[in-house]
């Protein structure tokens, strides 16, 4: 990115790329490190109209899905339990 690496610019670039490649309604997950600009970008992304429309179309809500963690015996169950509500999006 040539512009400043702040939350708004990161969100704008992400949305632009998703729209250019027709991925807005196919986006399932975004993984980031804990850099302040990334955290800020996710806050801006949650308010983006194109993302809100997709969530509303499928009746979904913004949600953090549990991760599969080898040191936690029930993490796979939590991951699958959370993901079931998104099965229509994958079909």
Give pLDDT tens digits for 31-80. 776 678 888 887 887 788 877 777 777 776 666 666 667 777 787 888 78
42 and 13 within one domain: yes
What mean pLDDT do residues 5-9 have?
86
Residue 75 lies in domain: 61-91
Phi, psi of 63 (to 5 degrees): -150, 145
Q: How far apart are CA 49 and CA 82, in angstroms?
A: 24
40 and 3 within one domain: yes
65 and 53 within one domain: no
Give pLDDT tens digits for 76-90. 888 788 778 777 766
- CB under 8 Å, gap of 24 or more: what pairs does 86-90 form? 86/28, 86/60, 88/58, 89/28, 89/58, 89/60, 90/28
27 and 67 within one domain: no
Q: What is the pLDDT of residue 24?
A: 75
Q: What is the pLDDT of residue 52?
A: 75
Q: How far apart are CA 81 and CA 91, in angstroms?
A: 17
Q: Total structural domains in the chain? A: 2
Q: How far apart are CA 14 and CA 45, in angstroms?
A: 9
pTM: 0.55
74 and 38 within one domain: no
80 and 45 within one domain: no
79 and 36 within one domain: no
69 and 50 within one domain: no
53 and 10 within one domain: yes
């Amino acid at each position: 990115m040539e512009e400043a690496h702040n939350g708004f610019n990161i969100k704008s670039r992400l949305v632009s790329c998703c729209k250019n490649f027709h991925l807005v309604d196919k986006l399932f997950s975004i993984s980031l490190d804990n850099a302040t600009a990334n955290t800020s970008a996710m806050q801006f992304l949650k308010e983006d109209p194109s993302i809100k429309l997709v969530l509303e179309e499928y009746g979904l809500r913004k949600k953090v899905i549990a991760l599969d963690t080898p040191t936690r015996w029930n993490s796979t169950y939590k991951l699958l339990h959370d993901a079931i509500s998104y099965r229509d999006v994958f079909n």
